[in-house]
Homo-oligomer: A and B are copies of this chain.
């Protein structure tokens, strides 16, 4: 009964597509094999909970054991190391802050690959350098396992409501198996190509997002200085060729839109630090492939300076505030 209720909540959360999820998830509870989950931070925790809610037993671990508490209360099994997860689950999801953590969790002394079973499906949802994803895939293949990269777009809210978008890279034959799990945690799952291409797509999107956001902030600021009303200017841009997601969905100017970080003193949302990190990845991949990205590089530098000047934890749309004349 509790499961039933939980299931129906899920149904609503996902604004679902006419599928009797409640029935499905209750029925399959008994028959599902466990899923490993490593990395229970702000994003990983709600993601793992959504697996539980969909009836998957979860075997979890984190370098900070206290992070696992919430999941333990919901019935997950908590173990001591990635290696131990690998002993007990043949599908494992990792959600970690950066490349070195991923390398350690997979190939470190207590890493997954020390104990991984042949045929295990490894899905890494961290946002990291695509070349590291490729290295992990090679290392996994040597052990007879399959590695896919599946970074997400969407923040903590989307993670809680299972509305993330997953961009997936890896061998196509395993995509369906990955999709089964990812749809429990996200609203969109997109197959992008070979290993690393999920990361590539994520990095590309966020680079263009950063450019569009800074561009929108500059443009709105210039228009305001020239005497235009901000709401009117946003309206004109949005019906013209200047239109972009940052102008029509996430406008950085206080007072133009509601329900966005600019309406809330740039709290919440996607921090400037995180944007700087993703732009650093874009820069690294561009440098390594000798690809010119003049605006992407400058966007990176602007967010890097912002982090030095007290904007690290504000939403990335606060670049509007950063560029404005001080009062």
Q: Are B209 and A296 in contact (CB under 8 A)?
A: no
Which chain B residue shows the least CB distance to A289? Answer: B225
Given the known interface contacts A201-B236, A226-B130, A244-B208, the answer about A308 and B294 at a Cβ–Cβ threshold of 8 Å is no
Check if A247 is an interface residue, CB within 8 A of chain B.
yes
* Chain B hits for A233, CB < 8 A: 201, 204
CB-CB nearest in chain B for A153: B240
Determine how many copies of this chain the complex contains: 4
Q: Judging by beta carbons under 8 Å apart, are B236 and A245 in contact?
A: no
Q: Which of A248-307 contact B (CB under 8 A)?
A: 249-250, 276, 280, 282-302, 304-305, 307
> By the criterion CB–CB under 8 Å, are B242 and A282 in contact?
no
Q: List 21 A-B contacts (CB under 8 A).
A: A153-B241, A197-B226, A204-B236, A204-B242, A206-B241, A206-B242, A207-B222, A208-B219, A208-B237, A211-B218, A212-B215, A218-B293, A219-B296, A241-B250, A244-B244, A290-B307, A292-B304, A292-B308, A294-B298, A305-B323, A308-B325
In the complex, the 6 A-B pairs of residues with the closest C-beta atoms, listed nearest first: A244-B244, A211-B215, A208-B242, A200-B226, A205-B242, A292-B304
Given contact pairs A192-B232, A219-B293, A297-B298, a sample of 8 additional A-B residue pairs in the complex whose CB atoms are under 8 Å apart = A204-B233, A208-B247, A215-B215, A218-B293, A218-B296, A305-B322, A308-B326, A310-B326
